[in-house]
Amino acid sequence: MEIEKKSTGRHRVVIVGSGFGGLFAATKFKDEDVDVVLVSSTTHHLFQPLLYQVATGILSEGVIAPSTREVLKKQKNVEIFIGTVTDIDVDAKRVTAELLDSTQVYDYDSLIVAAGAGQSYFGNDHFAQFAPGMKSIDDALELRGRIFGAFETAELAAAAGQWDDVRSLLTFVVVGAGPTGVEMAGQISELANRTLADDFRHINPKDARVVLVDAAPQVLPPFGANLGKKAQGQLESMGVEVLLGQMVTNVDATGIEMKTEDGTVTRIDSVCKVWAAGVAASPLGKLLGEKTGAEVDRSGRIAVQPDLSLPGHPEIYVVGDMMSLNKLPGVAQVAIQGGRYAATSILARVKGQPSPGPFKYFDKGSMATISRFSAVTKVGRLETEGFIAWLMWLGVHLFYIIGFKSRLTTMISWALAFLGDNRDERTATEQQVHARLAIDELGDKYRPSVEVPGLLAESKTNHAIEAKDEPAQIETPKN
């Protein structure tokens, strides 16, 4: 299916991804004389830094993942399509995307690729079955089900007198002591010690053991030794066990094994494990590397030119977690500033103005929250910890959540969770917990399809479609 270029004769920018890089690039084109097509594999813009609050019942998924279409509804020069980009023909300037069993093709004059990164298990992908990562709404909802489910199952086991099972069900292991792991461990501990403290009759949720494991010698390595130590101290004061210098060597249904440098192997029996270590850039990085000759590093990030374009292709920009440049970290600000810069650069070219020069990243600092009222922040050389740091964290996150409605809902949920001990978002469905593994198990047998009368027939003859005149009907396949 070829998505017809509107006959505006204007420069057409295709953006891949609706995360921080893609969305902020798109908004920069507002009221400009260009056509923008945003293709993304999700229909929402995900605020990843708060995923752990969805997983631990503080926030609902809608609050941190507003519909991209709604966010951009007033920007009339943007068309939004759902699809997973699978190929980019850099010579023909064409992007191919897939949705279920249909294929779409988009022509571009300029391209911004902001497809982000996924979880990496460092070559041990089978760990994913037992220790879900934290990259998407699906991940957060699955983890929510697993975390609350572990307490429920422990109650059942306790009522039956199966105390060994209770111990492994109430042991939570978080792998990775970066910001996500620290935040996750802190929240599971708060859940056990405050929110759920009085909710059960056979178990005492305060007996839960929360373990944070990392191969590195300190927590929060990017924050430096001083703040790392303070964060560790705060976690330990909440009862979180911090195990450093421990390389995870195996994960199975009932536990996790790790090894120290001297070869000592330890096993922890734990049903609920969370993987918060390691990222791998979108496979589009490797694909673009092969097509343009740009270098791709071990994490799959593609080396970009100082203006974020690819060698020999000044019309292709790669921004955010997918790109590598001057050791910039994979954080939201790099993606936001990169997306905006790429858009500015394209607009300069379209208008015949001088290019903005090389991309310059302005580091606004880093922050991680440990528990309610406690966080660490690093802005330049200024290090802050405790309540003041937590207030800073609160302000910054509220500022970057998209939309007034989401901000308001977030503030109410935070007041309930942090001032009281309420967590309203504890609902988890069986599908959320089991669907990922069920789909994996089905393998090739899982073939969802979409029948769009007329549309697929058209695509076979490779004619452009007039989707605007005749809205297509999507039918669910009948057995």
Ligand X SMILES: Cc1cc2nc3c(=O)[nH]c(=O)nc-3n(C[C@H](O)[C@H](O)[C@H](O)COP(=O)(O)OP(=O)(O)OC[C@H]3O[C@@H](n4cnc5c(N)ncnc54)[C@H](O)[C@@H]3O)c2cc1C
Q: Which long-range contacts (CB under 8 A, 24 or more apart) does 94-97 make?
A: 95/14, 95/16, 95/39, 97/39
* Contacts to ligand X by CB under 6 A: 16-22, 39-42, 48-49, 51, 84-85, 114-116, 134-135, 179-180, 282, 284, 320-322, 330-333, 335
Of the pair 38, 215, the CB lying nearest ligand X is at 38
**Residue 452 Rama label (left phi>0; alpha psi -120 to 50; beta):** beta
Q: What are the tokens at 293?
A: 């000759």
Helix (H) / strand (E) element for 78: namely strand 78-82
Q: What are the tokens at 35?
A: 């056509």
- CA-closest candidate to residue 50, choices 413, 416, 311, 461: 413
Alpha-carbon distance of 35 to 18, in angstroms, equals 16
Query: Are the beta carbons of 292 and 268 closer than 8 angstroms?
Result: no
Helix (H) / strand (E) element for 385: namely strand 382-385
Of the pair 165, 378, the CB lying nearest ligand X is at 378
CB 462, min distance to ligand X, A = 22
Of the pair 40, 153, the CB lying nearest ligand X is at 40
Angle 257-258-262 (CA atoms, 0-180°, nearest 5)?
Answer: 140
A 10 A CB-CB count for 350 gives 17
CB 444, min distance to ligand X, A = 20
Q: What are the tokens at 8?
A: 């505006």
Alpha-carbon distance of 218 to 277, in angstroms, equals 14
Alpha-carbon distance of 417 to 374, in angstroms, equals 14
CB 51, min distance to ligand X, A = 4
> In the bound complex, which residue of the shown chain has the CB atom lying closest to ligand X?
19
Of the pair 49, 300, the CB lying nearest ligand X is at 49
Alpha-carbon distance of 223 to 214, in angstroms, equals 15
Strand partners, 13: 36, 110
Catalytic residue status for 183: yes
Catalytic residue among 61, 79, 183, 190: 183
Alpha-carbon distance of 12 to 18, in angstroms, equals 17
CB 320, min distance to ligand X, A = 2
CB 377, min distance to ligand X, A = 11
Alpha-carbon distance of 191 to 197, in angstroms, equals 8
Alpha-carbon distance of 240 to 245, in angstroms, equals 16
Q: What are the tokens at 75?
A: 């920007």
> Which one-letter amino acid corresponds to residue 385?
E
> Which one-letter amino acid corresponds to residue 27?
T
Of the pair 134, 158, the CB lying nearest ligand X is at 134
CB 188, min distance to ligand X, A = 14
CB 96, min distance to ligand X, A = 10
141-157 burial, b at 16+ Cβ within 10 Å, e below that, comes to: bbbbbbbbbbbebbbeb
CB 266, min distance to ligand X, A = 26
> How would you list the strands of the sheet with 272-275, edge to edge?
241-243, 209-213, 171-175, 272-275
Alpha-carbon distance of 226 to 427, in angstroms, equals 38
CB 26, min distance to ligand X, A = 11
Q: Which residues are catalytic?
A: 183
